[in-house]
Amino acid sequence: MLRIVAIALGAALVLLLGLPLLSLVLRVSPGELLDRVRQPLILEALRLSLVTSLAATVTVVALGLPVAYALNVADFRGKRALEVLIDLPMVLPPTVAGVALLTAFGRTGLAGRALALFGVSLPFTTLGVIVAQAFVAAPFFVGAARAGFAEVDRKYLDAAATLRAAPGTAFLRVLVPLAAPSLLAGAAMSWARALGEFGATITFAGNMPGVTQTMPLAVYLALQSDVEAAIVLSVLLLAVSLTVLVCIRLAPSRLPGRARRAPR
Amino acid sequence: MLDALLGKRRGEFQLDVAFQAEPGTTTVLVGESGAGKTSVLRLVAGLDRLDRGHVTVGAQQYADAGRGLHRPAWERDIGYVPQDYALFPHLSVFDNVAFGPRASGMPRHRITSAVTEALTLVGIPELARRRPHELSGGQQQRAALARALALQPAVLLLDEPLSSLDLQTRRALRVELRALLARLPCLTLYVTHNPVEALVLSDQIVVLDEGRVAQAGTREALLRYPRTPFVAELVGTNLFVGRPVTTEGPKPTIRTPEGLVEIGDLPGPGAAYLTVSPREITLSLRPPEGSAQNVFAGNVVELVPEPPGGERVRVVLNTRPTLVAEVTPEAISALSLADGAWVYAAFKATGVHRYA
């Protein structure tokens, strides 16, 4: 009896997740997809999304690597607080993130006024889109990087140290390469999150075609005028997300250097 | 010269070890697992910090706890081969060996020759392009050794370099390693739990027991003059520690905590160490009546073929002190000895080697 209930509950979840995606795919024929993608509105959104999400990913990786390393090797005051701060965007409603970004970087915001002195303005610009995406995507990379660093056996860092490698060299030549599968997975997750970003972007950067209107925003807008276009865009985004996930699932087992933790 | 005075506390474990070693020689640190052997290497390498003491190599002071001096591992002139080699799995053998030269900023054109030289030294120049996971255990051991030697360090640290290899490879490599270490100008610290390796490879042996030096000296000194039961066991002999007495019988006698032992010559004053070779001990099922003057009784605890599968059998007894006799397999079957059997172990006064 319990077994039947369990199976029924499981099936319900599979339906809940699978049915919308399946029906989405079934609504569009491959030919129609190709036709639609060539439309300027969609092309524009696609280009903008790729540029901003990649820029956001690069930013997150560059800023996240040292933070993940520091959180793993060092013990310092406020470490717990930093951990919470970094995880917060994962659970924060994206629109709240957008409002928070506005209060910080808006014309009257704390950092906004300082940036304005240098002629830089973030709200309602492409740069603003990148900032919003980086804000929500950062925890995915930092989390994966920390897990990856923790998985690298200390013995390799010890060996590097006895081979004249100062910590910086050991980080670049040993730790990063050995944690590469996790770092790539984290970067891919961050990228996927940035690509799908909606709430923070529309709140902070607005919805201007060619400037701040990324794919998810275009989907939402199209839904009110051209449902078919919205569906095509959605299928595209779905394909991207699926590809990222499949790659992450397959990649770590293929790459060498995943160290097993040796007992001391 | 290496001068090491190492004090380190880790949880319940307290390490207190001092020794010195000369360039061009091999010092073997031998002891059971948990004796602190690896801790010694890590402290000398600079991977761990000293609580007390110092590490000095030649004119260079690497660590001095009193002054708060601790030069990190990457600033020390050492090469380290950890127990499981820790070859970088993402790099080829060449790049593994080139790691040290590159990290130390060696000019590019000299790196290739340094790597080739190191690989040739350990006999695997043809494996440069392989990845570590494509190597056998013995090849990995050589690659790790080449990596540690590429910068021609003043001090070479080897942690159980042969222990994870199969018996045959281990024997072959042991011979090779001895020849190689003898040629190297560096000072080698070699950690092992294997007494044979210690005896074969060492110029000097430092016996560690529970974080302390039980005894240090040349292999001849240890073989002939063991000072603690642990060292005696290590070199495979029986040891009594006692004081000479003259009043308790007509024969020269030493009083030990385990009873009186008759010896062949007149005892001098002071503490006396007595060893009895396992081959000097005869076993019998009844108290012996012949000329053997020293008799201990006990149960057989263990029968160990020596060498493994060989022509002698070591019989371990639970006498006080624990005695080990070495007899022929024929003697074992004649006495029908088995675990737990009650036997008398006897040896002549002239079979006792005595030293102060």
Question: For the domain that residue B200 is a member of, what is the CATH number?
Answer: 3.40.50.300
Contacts of A180 in chain B (CB under 8 A): 90
Q: Are A53 and A264 in contact (CB under 8 A)?
A: no
pLDDT for residue A46: 87
- Decide if B11 touches A, using CB distance below 8 A: no
- CATH code for the domain of B308: 2.40.50.100
Whether B196 and B303 map to the same domain: the answer is no
Number of domains comprising chain B: 2
pLDDT for residue B235: 83
- Decide if A90 touches B, using CB distance below 8 A: no
Give the residue with greater pLDDT, B264 vs B335: B335
Domain annotation covers residue A16:
no
Q: Residues B102-149: pLDDT tens digits? A: 999 999 999 999 999 999 999 999 999 999 999 999 999 999 999 999
- Decide if B46 touches A, using CB distance below 8 A: yes
DSSP conformation class of B74: G
Q: Residues A196-249: pLDDT tens digits? A: 999 999 999 999 888 999 999 988 988 888 888 888 888 888 888 888 888 877
Q: Residues A137-188: pLDDT tens digits? A: 999 999 999 999 999 999 999 999 999 999 999 999 999 999 999 999 999 9
Domain annotation covers residue B249:
yes
pLDDT for residue A263: 38
Please report which residue ranges of A27-93 form alpha helices under DSSP H: 30-37, 40-73, 79-91
Q: Are B206 and B219 in contact (CB under 8 A)?
A: no
CA A151 to mean position of chain CA atoms: 22
For A156, which of B76, B88, B103 is closest by C-beta distance?
B88
Domain annotation covers residue B334:
yes
Whether B247 and B323 map to the same domain: the answer is yes
Contact A159 B73 (CB under 8 A): no
Residue A25 Cα, gap to closest chain B Cα (Å): 41
- Decide if B47 touches A, using CB distance below 8 A: yes
Number of domains comprising chain A: 1
In whole angstroms, give the CA distance from residue B212 to residue B159.
Answer: 18
What's the helix, strand, coil split of chain B in %, to 5? 30, 35, 35
pLDDT for residue A74: 86
Domain annotation covers residue B281:
yes
- Decide if B131 touches A, using CB distance below 8 A: yes
Domain annotation covers residue A230:
yes
Q: Residues A58-97: pLDDT tens digits? A: 999 999 999 999 998 888 888 999 999 999 999 999 999 9
Whether the pLDDT of residue B248 is over 70: the answer is: no
pLDDT for residue B264: 72
Confidence of residue B73 (pLDDT cuts 50, 70, 90): very high
- Decide if B67 touches A, using CB distance below 8 A: no
Does the global pTM surpass 0.90? no
Domain annotation covers residue A157:
yes
Q: Residues A18-47: pLDDT tens digits? A: 999 898 888 888 888 888 777 887 888 889
Whether B60 and B134 map to the same domain: the answer is yes
Contact B99 A166 (CB under 8 A): no
- CATH code for the domain of A124: 1.10.3720.10
pLDDT for residue B249: 58
Whether B241 and B215 map to the same domain: the answer is no
Give the best residue of B38, B99, B152 to mutate against chain A (max A CB count within 10 A).
Answer: B99
Which residues constitute the domain of residue B271? Answer: 236-355
In whole angstroms, give the CA distance from residue A188 to residue A247.
Answer: 9
Whether B259 and B294 map to the same domain: the answer is yes
Domain annotation covers residue B151:
yes
Whether the pLDDT of residue A261 is over 50: the answer is: no
Domain annotation covers residue B230:
no
- Decide if A63 touches B, using CB distance below 8 A: no
**Overall average pLDDT of the B157-179 stretch:** 89
**Overall average pLDDT of the B170-176 stretch:** 87
- Domain boundary among the residues B199, B224, B249 is at B224
Residues 6+ positions from A155 with CB-CB distance below 8 Å: A262, B82, B84, B86
In 10 A of CB B154, how many CB atoms?
A: 17
Whether the pLDDT of residue A104 is over 80: the answer is: yes
Give the best residue of A156, A162, A261 to mutate against chain B (max B CB count within 10 A).
Answer: A162
Whether B87 and B197 map to the same domain: the answer is yes
Q: Quick one: closest CA in A to B47, which residue?
A: A158
Domain annotation covers residue A7:
no
Q: Quick one: closest CA in A to B95, which residue?
A: A173
Q: How many CB pairs below 8 A link A and B? A: 72
Whether B266 and B148 map to the same domain: the answer is no
Domain annotation covers residue A177:
yes
Tokens for B281, please give them.
Answer: 């001990």
Q: Quick one: closest CA in B to A181, which residue?
A: B90
Contacts of A156 in chain B (CB under 8 A): 86, 88
Q: What one-letter code names the amino acid at B236?
A: G
Residues 6+ positions from B234 with CB-CB distance below 8 Å: B30, B195, B198, B207, B222, B226
Whether B151 and B192 map to the same domain: the answer is yes
Domain annotation covers residue A77:
yes
Q: Residues B10-25: pLDDT tens digits? A: 888 999 999 999 999 9
Residues 6+ positions from B40 with CB-CB distance below 8 Å: B4, B6, B15, B17, B29, B189, B191, B208
Q: Are B194 and B158 in contact (CB under 8 A)?
A: no
Domain annotation covers residue A23:
no
- Domain boundary among the residues B172, B202, B224 is at B224
- State the sign of the Cα–Cα–Cα–Cα dihedral B101, B103, B104, B106: positive
Whether B167 and B20 map to the same domain: the answer is yes
In whole angstroms, give the CA distance from residue B225 to residue B240.
Answer: 11
In this structure, the dihedral spanned by the alpha carbons of residues A69, A72, A74 and A78, taken in order and rounded to 10 degrees, is 100
Contacts of A256 in chain B (CB under 8 A): 89-90, 131, 133
Q: How many CA atoms lie within 13 A of B90 on its CB side?
A: 18
Relative to beta strand B155-159, strand B78-81 is parallel
Domain annotation covers residue B231:
no
Domain annotation covers residue A125:
yes
Which residues constitute the domain of residue A66? Answer: 31-254
Measure the N-to-C terminal CA separation of chain A; round to a whole number of Å: 48
Give the best residue of B84, B88, B91, B130 to mutate against chain A (max A CB count within 10 A).
Answer: B88
Whether B256 and B204 map to the same domain: the answer is no
Rounded percentage of chain B residues whose pLDDT exceeds 70: 95
Whether B253 and B125 map to the same domain: the answer is no
Domain annotation covers residue B229:
no
Domain annotation covers residue B216:
yes
Whether B138 and B111 map to the same domain: the answer is yes
Confidence of residue A251 (pLDDT cuts 50, 70, 90): low
Q: Are B240 and B351 in contact (CB under 8 A)?
A: no
- Domain boundary among the residues B158, B193, B224 is at B224
Give the best residue of A163, A172, A175, A182 to mutate against chain B (max B CB count within 10 A).
Answer: A163
Contacts of B76 in chain A (CB under 8 A): 162
